[in-house]
Amino acid sequence: MKELYKQTEEKMQKAIVSLETEFASIRAGRATSAVLDRIMVDFYGVPTPIPQMSSVSAPEARILQIQPYDMSTIKDIEKAIQASDLGINPANDGRVIRLVFPPLNEERRLELTRQVAKLCENGKVAVRNIRRDALEKYKAMKKNSEITEDDLKKSEQDVQKLTDKYCKLADDAADKKSKELQEI
């Protein structure tokens, strides 16, 4: 019974970590290498994230500098960035690629805030699905006479508290990201 509770909590933690990773990849006007994590480059036949095949630095607040470890991949990296949903045109000088992040306009800020809200809701749905699965397992345990009716009620309450806690964490992460997007 405690093992199931522990597994449920671990799954909920993973759902929130995944949500925060998604939030990190949303560009908020400042240069962050997390926006490149989702962009894959065909590296000798293997799709590889840009940070794994290059050195990424931020020499200024709104500039990312990408220096590939293998200079023959610079064109491939540039094409992958152009094909992505990043919306930034890379500047290639033959040695490094620079990405200049323009300040966000109000329309783009609202669009990104809506995207954050949608991702938050998806994260909370994932947490609720984990709750549902746990409750089904507890009910199966009760049906098989592995736990008592009182244990079932207590477990349901514990799982609900856990669900509330992780839904609040998702909301807090979304609020933090929304505030970051509204900064000028």
Q: Give the pLDDT mean for 122-133.
A: 95
Q: Give the pLDDT mean for 161-177.
A: 94
pLDDT at residue number 166: 95
Those residues with Cβ within 8 angstroms of residue 85's Cβ, 6 or more apart along the chain or in another chain: none
In 3D, which of 35, 36, 53 has the Cα closest to residue 44? Answer: 53
Helices 149-182 and 106-143: crossing angle, nearest 10°? 170
Q: Give the pLDDT mean for 153-161.
A: 94
2-24+105-182 and 33-100 have identical folds: no
Give the SS3 label for residue 67.
Answer: strand
pLDDT at residue number 110: 86
Query: Using 50, 70 and 90 to split pLDDT, how confident is the model at 159?
Result: very high
Cα 137 to Cα 27, 124, 141, 151: the distances in Å are 40, 20, 6, 13
Domain boundaries, the chain: 2-24+105-182, 33-100
pLDDT tens per residue, range 23-67: 877 766 667 777 888 888 988 888 989 899 999 988 888 888 999
Check: CATH 3.30.1360.40 for 33-100? Answer: yes
pLDDT at residue number 184: 57
pLDDT at residue number 122: 94
Specify the amino acid at residue 114.
R
In 3D, which of 93, 37, 99, 43 has the Cα closest to residue 69? Answer: 43
Class level of CATH domain 2-24+105-182: mainly alpha
